[in-house]
Amino acid sequence: MRAANWTIPVIVAASTLFYVGACFFMGAGLLVSPAGVVLSVVWWLAVVACCVAVFILNRRQ
């Protein structure tokens, strides 16, 4: 991967750490509610989609 292609995974990883930290500081109740579970699933699907997109775009070059 070129250096520019590492930007998106680094941003995704940093925002993921922010999300995990926010969940920790808000308490475990966030992930117990159905809305919290849906939010977590959508978040992790977005993270995986970003990583897959970078991988696919990198293979095309």
Residue ranges of the domains in the chain?
A: 3-60
Q: Which of 41, 36, 47, 58 is nearest to 14 (CA)?
A: 47
What is the model's pLDDT at position 2?
62
Query: Which residue in this structure is represented by tokens 């699907």?
Result: 45
- Residues 46, 23, 48: CA angle, nearest 5 degrees: 15
Per-residue pLDDT tens digits for 1-57: 566 667 777 777 788 788 777 777 777 666 677 777 777 778 888 888 887 887 787
Residue 15, SS3?
A: helix
